[in-house]
A = this chain, B = another copy of it.
Amino acid sequence: MLEERKLDDRKLAVLRAIVQDYVGTEEPVGSKALVERHNLGVSPATVRNDMATLEDEGYIHQPHTSAGRVPTDKGYRLFVDRLTEVKPMSGAERRAIGSFLDHAVDLDDVVARTVRLLAQLTRQVAVVQYPSLSRSTVRHVELVALTPTRLMLVLITDTGRVEQRLIDCPTAVGETVLADLRSRLNTRAGGQRFVEVPTLLQDLPESFEREDRGAVTAVLSTLFEALAEQTEERVVIGGSANLTRFPHDFPLTIAPVLEALEEQVVLLKLLGETGDAGMMVRIGHENAYEGLNSTSVVSVGYGSGDETVAKLGVVGPTRMDYPGTMGAVRAVARYVGQILAAS
């Protein structure tokens, strides 16, 4: 509050112009070039005064005396928060996204195509988390008796995944018991979220005859195990070659980024910080992970309907086209959500 009193509209316009120019040219931008390219309606000298203020406040920075100014992380932050809007994709771009993703044949393919597409659209490194199934629900549970003491459990999730397990029962299970168990499993667990299923089913053995409880327990523990495994999280990346498009800060900054990108844990944490609603932009030092201190991360959740099942985003230099990147990330996330909802 106190600080911002000093920043009138024109100073903000100057900051916006600086960010835009710098993102375009990748070179420090001076007062003269600024008034030429943007009609600010004032002279370079005035802009210089504004720039001095902006520098005092820490929004821009001078690499060395008598060079132009470069936005700081703080400057980008202000730019993203207050000086710009997410740039929507053009109709043509949206159609391209659609037709590219529509050809996906299964979940793996959706993710693979998404990461590719995002990398191409933004010309940066794309990061896509596999739909976490902890929010997923159970569509159907099937039990098949292979032999009297050997069952097969088939779990079908609402995202269309099928998982099957073999179960060795301590005692033989009759056909009627099996049918009973099958129907109870589905009425109680069907449509429920994975995480809730164990709670909902824990007292199930009690409603069976004593001699069948061992078998029921075996089935349940196998089911819980399968559910737990389905929530395993995974991240895929793409377009890492785009890192080389910044010959500027080389290779000082690229190596740690590559390392970070190989660490599933780091990526999951990174994406995990994204709120369930809305887009997250982490600029430079705002990233907890040190190797990403000179990069920005734009990420957003996606999912079918209004539920977030996973996150996706891009990693690029702090000097990135924020409006465009945010637009691309949002558009892709929405489209992936639609695909998941449809299938």
Q: Which A residues are closer than 8 A to B by beta carbons?
A: 142, 144, 146, 152, 154, 156, 162-166, 238-241, 243-244, 247, 250-251, 254-256, 258-259, 261-262
- Assembly CA distance A241 to B263 (angstroms): 12
Show 10 residue pairs from A and B whose CB-CB distance is below 8 angstroms, ordered by the A residue. A142-B146, A144-B144, A162-B165, A164-B164, A240-B240, A241-B258, A243-B258, A244-B254, A244-B258, A247-B250
Instruction: Specify which chain B residues have a CB less than 8 angstroms from the CB of A154 in the assembled complex.
Output: 144, 146, 152, 164
Within the complex, what minimum Cβ distance (angstroms) separates A161 from chain B?
10
The answer to whether residues A152 and B146 also contact, given A240-B258, A258-B244 and a CB cut-off of 8 A, is no
Beta-carbon nearest neighbor of A264 in chain B? B112
Instruction: Specify which chain B residues have a CB less than 8 angstroms from the CB of A164 in the assembled complex.
Output: 152, 154, 162-164
Beta-carbon nearest neighbor of A152 in chain B? B154
- Assembly CA distance A146 to B152 (angstroms): 11
Beta-carbon nearest neighbor of A232 in chain B? B108
- Assembly CA distance A166 to B139 (angstroms): 13
Within the complex, what minimum Cβ distance (angstroms) separates A166 from chain B?
6
Instruction: Specify which chain B residues have a CB less than 8 angstroms from the CB of A238 in the assembled complex.
Output: 262
- Assembly CA distance A255 to B163 (angstroms): 39
Within the complex, what minimum Cβ distance (angstroms) separates A146 from chain B?
6
Within the complex, what minimum Cβ distance (angstroms) separates A211 from chain B?
25
- Which residue of the partner chain, among B144, B166, B247, contacts A251 with CB atoms under 8 Å? B247
- Assembly CA distance A304 to B244 (angstroms): 40
Beta-carbon nearest neighbor of A256 in chain B? B241
Instruction: Specify which chain B residues have a CB less than 8 angstroms from the CB of A250 in the assembled complex.
Output: 247, 250-251
Beta-carbon nearest neighbor of A240 in chain B? B258
- Assembly CA distance A163 to B267 (angstroms): 29
Instruction: Specify which chain B residues have a CB less than 8 angstroms from the CB of A254 in the assembled complex.
Output: 241, 244
Within the complex, what minimum Cβ distance (angstroms) separates A35 from chain B?
35
6 A-B pairs closest in CB distance? A244-B251, A241-B258, A244-B255, A241-B255, A241-B259, A164-B164
Instruction: Specify which chain B residues have a CB less than 8 angstroms from the CB of A251 in the assembled complex.
Output: 244, 247, 250
Within the complex, what minimum Cβ distance (angstroms) separates A90 from chain B?
27
Beta-carbon nearest neighbor of A246 in chain B? B251
Beta-carbon nearest neighbor of A258 in chain B? B241
- Assembly CA distance A262 to B244 (angstroms): 14
- Assembly CA distance A115 to B142 (angstroms): 38
Beta-carbon nearest neighbor of A119 in chain B? B262
